[in-house]
Amino acid sequence: MNQNNHKRYWKRNLLYLIILLSIWFVVSFGCGILLADQLNQFHIGGAKLGFWFAQQGSIYVFVILIFVYVVLMNRLDRKFDVDEE
């Protein structure tokens, strides 16, 4: 595989990281901490929204983020022919 291809693979990987880690930051530090008071005006079931993000919601999003990353990277590995099969 040539150098140019390597660079493109790595750039795409970094782009995925930036997007996924931004979501990670927004749901935990954003919704759960910095904006918790504002979000607490809304409710999900019997829980205030900011409180819910801090105690449960962010964890659900974390799990989804890792699996989205797995799918994206497996696809990327195959596309750039750097996978292990």
Partner 1 sequence: MDVQIWTYIIVGLSFALYIGIAVWSRASSTKDFYVAGGGVHPLANGMATAADWMSAASFISMAGIISFMGYDGSVYLMGWTGGYVLLALLLAPYLRKFGKFTVPDFIGDRYYSNAARTVAVICAIFISFTYVAGQMRGVGVVFSRFLEVPVEWGVIIGMFIVFFYAVLGGMKGITYTQVAQFCVLIFAYMVPAIFIALQLTDTLLPQLGFMGTLKDGSFLLDKLDGLHQELGFAAYTSGSKDVFDVFCITAALMIGTAGLPHVIVRFFTVPRVKDARTSAGYALIFIAILYTTAPAIAAFARTNLIDTVSDKPYDTMPEWFSKWESTGLITYDDKNNDGKIQYLGDAANNELQIDRDIMVLANPEIAQLPNWVIALVAAGGLAAALSTAAGLLLVISTAVSHDLIKKQLAPNISEGKELMWARMAAGAAVIVAGYFGINPPGFVAQVVAFAFGLAAASFFPAIVLGIFYKRMNKEGAIAGMVIGLLFTMSYIIYFKFIFSSADAADHWWLGVSPEGIGAVGMAINFVVSIIISAFTPAPPAEIQDMVEDIRYPRGAAKEVEVH
Contact set with partner 1 (CB under 8 A) = 6, 9-10, 13, 17, 20-21, 24, 28-29, 32-34, 36-37, 40, 44-48, 51-52, 54-56, 58-60, 62-63, 65-67, 69-70, 73-74, 77, 82-84
Angstrom distance (rounded) from CA 27 to CA 59: 9
Tokens of 62: 């974390």
Nearest Cα to 59, choosing from 80, 31, 84?
A: 31
